[in-house]
Amino acid sequence: MRVIQDDGGAEPLGQLSPQDWLAAAETQKVLAALMADGAEVRFVGGCVRDSVLKRPIKDIDIATHDTPDTVMALLERAGIKVIPTGIAHGTVTAVVGKAHYEITTLREDVETFGRHARVSFTDDWTADAARRDFTMNAMFADASGRIYDPFNGLADLAAGQVRFVGDPMKRIDEDVLRLLRFFRFYAHYGRPPMDKNALIACRKLAPRLVELSGERVAGELIRLLQAPDPAEAMLVMKAEGVLAHVLPEARELGRLKVLSWLESRGLIRSGIAPDPLRRLGAILHGDEAAIRVVGDRLKLSAAQTGRLVSIAAPKIAVHDGLDHLGARRALRRIGADTFRDLVLVAWADAKSRSGVTHSHETSRWIGLLDWADAWQPVELPVRGADCLELGVPRGPGIGQALGVVDAWWEENDYRPGRAECLERLRQAIKEGGAEAPP
């Protein structure tokens, strides 16, 4: 990125380095269609911001002077598929092959009430930038990659400053989702210190977060927790009284820093990567019922809620003192994925409490992960039907007898085959299945 000229929205301020997404045939096709009659068209938001940082981009947003009707007509004329995604507020989606482009007519806010703004179309790029949330999200790039930066987003991006466009209090008051977006963008792009005025506004307006739907809160929290190191943002949210309104169950934040470090840098290991749900589970405190309340409130799927429960309210304690037999017992009951989650969380918990990890502890934790990777599900070669055949009446006696055989089979590394297990079952029945299962 090189700086050309220091001027607001009218003149370009810099130049994107060559970008694959911009050079892609799909993008060029959409640009050619939109500009066929001479309209001015610019990329905006995340794709510009992430390109400046040389990070992979997620989605491509385009802003144009043309009204949605004209945009649809231009795209259709070029044979491009169009979906009128949000035509009422000026957005259509162009689809070329697998690529999606959100195209929005320049707008300015006329009036806002809560999350709803009355907007009018405009031809003023700076007015469009002014309704956007943060300076780093209010940058445009034209078809040649020239950057337009009306609110000094480039400088803020370079300094790791997540700064609201305009007065934070007013901008959050207009749309309280921006409060969560502030912490999300801080987790991904920010460096301390956080903007003081923004924090004051967040603290003051946090009670209004209850106005947001569970899905929106979950969407923001999960995206925040995808950052390589989300711990600082979360700790500040806790300290400023923000979490109390969206996630009061987050009482184990101390683990988050180490867990994130293990996942993203500390432990280079296939199958271990930053995982927002694991992180969410790790910071929650409560019994199964309390964790289910979190899942319901955030409108998570049954599988996602189940994962949170398995981490935050585990059925089996995983710790670095587990021997191979104990680990296998746990693996059999909870499966390798949950076992790995619990190893990472317990490791993070231990390290965050003691502050140091000795190498013999590290190798014990890694040993547990090795056992998880090597784990193959096993099935006891005898079952209830065998007990009935051997004369055990229906009832609790069956479970007791099988439990005795199972414990013996487990201690013997699951090696005894069906014949040996049947023999052991006969013996257990003879002894009355009196031994208690483990």
Residues at the interface with Mg ion (CB under 5 A): 46, 59
Least distance (Å) between residue 329 CB and Mg ion: 46
Least distance (Å) between residue 230 CB and ligand ATP: 14
Q: Which contacts of 124-131 are long-range, i.e. CB under 8 A and separated by 24 or more positions?
A: 125/9, 125/10, 125/42, 125/63, 125/150, 126/8, 126/9, 126/10, 126/150, 128/44, 128/63, 129/9, 129/165, 130/165, 130/166, 131/107, 131/165
Least distance (Å) between residue 174 CB and ligand ATP: 8
- Minimal CA–CA distance to 164: which of 183, 147, 146? 183
Residues in the chain, how many?
Answer: 438
Least distance (Å) between residue 332 CB and Mg ion: 44
Please tell me whether residue 177 binds ligand ATP under the rule CB under 6 A: yes
Least distance (Å) between residue 414 CB and Mg ion: 50
What type of residue is 308?
A: L
Piece in contact with ligand ATP (CB under 6 A), picked from 57-65, 265-273, 326-334, 406-414: 57-65
- Choose the contact partner of 257 out of Mg ion, ligand ATP, none; CB within 5 to 8 A by kind: none
Least distance (Å) between residue 45 CB and ligand ATP: 3
Please tell me whether residue 170 binds ligand ATP under the rule CB under 6 A: no
Q: Of 109 and 410, which has the nearer Cβ to ligand ATP?
A: 109
Q: Of 177 and 334, which has the nearer Cβ to ligand ATP?
A: 177
- β-strand partners of 117: 112
Please tell me whether residue 260 binds ligand ATP under the rule CB under 6 A: no
Q: Of 58 and 353, which has the nearer Cβ to ligand ATP?
A: 58
- Choose the contact partner of 137 out of ligand ATP, Mg ion, none; CB within 5 to 8 A by kind: ligand ATP
Please tell me whether residue 107 binds ligand ATP under the rule CB under 6 A: no
- Range 59-78, binding ligand ATP (CB under 6 A): 59, 61
Q: Of 109 and 288, which has the nearer Cβ to ligand ATP?
A: 109
Residue from 9, 45, 266, 433 in contact with ligand ATP (CB under 6 A): 45
Residue number of the CB closest to ligand ATP reads: 46
Q: Of 190 and 433, which has the nearer Cβ to Mg ion?
A: 190
Least distance (Å) between residue 145 CB and ligand ATP: 17
Listed in sequence order, the residues at least 6 apart from 181 whose beta carbon sits closer than 8 Å to its beta carbon are 133, 134, 220
Please tell me whether residue 46 binds ligand ATP under the rule CB under 6 A: yes
- Choose the contact partner of 353 out of Mg ion, ligand ATP, none; CB within 5 to 8 A by kind: none
**What mask of x and - would describe binding to ligand ATP in positions 111 to 150, judged by CB under 6 A?**
---------------------xx---xx------------
Q: Of 46 and 397, which has the nearer Cβ to Mg ion?
A: 46
Least distance (Å) between residue 181 CB and ligand ATP: 6
* Burial of 34 (C-beta count, 10 Å sphere; 0-12/13-18/19+): buried
Q: Of 135 and 310, which has the nearer Cβ to ligand ATP?
A: 135
Piece in contact with ligand ATP (CB under 6 A), picked from 105-113, 174-182, 239-247, 272-280: 174-182
Least distance (Å) between residue 413 CB and ligand ATP: 49
SS3 string, the chain, reads: CEECCCCCCCCCCEECCCCHHHHCHHHHHHHHHHHCCCCCEEEECHHHHHHHCCCCCCCEEEEECCCHHHHHHHHHHCCCEEEEEEHHHCEEEEEECCEEEEEEECEEEEEEECCEEEEEECCCHHHHHHCCCEHHHCCEEECCCEEECCCCHHHHHHHCCCCECCCHHHHHHHCCHHHHHHHHHHHHHCCCCCCHHHHHHHHHHHHHHHHCCHHHHHHHHHHHHCCCCCHHHHHHHHHCCCHHHHCCCECCCHHHHHHHHHHHHHCCCCCCCCCHHHHHHHHECCCHHHHHHHHHHCCCCHHHHHHHHHHHCCCCCCCCCCCHHHHHHHHHHHHHHHHHHHHHHHHHHHHHHHCCCCHHHHHHHHHHHHHHHHCCCCCCCCCHHHHHHCCCCCCHHHHHHHHHHHHHHHHCCCCCCHHHHHHHHHHHHHCCCCCCCC
**What mask of x and - would describe binding to ligand ATP in positions 181 to 210, judged by CB under 6 A?**
x-----------------------------
Q: Of 147 and 262, which has the nearer Cβ to ligand ATP?
A: 147
- Choose the contact partner of 254 out of ligand ATP, Mg ion, none; CB within 5 to 8 A by kind: none
Q: Which residues bind ligand ATP (CB under 6 A)?
A: 45-46, 58-59, 61, 132-133, 137-138, 175, 177-178, 181
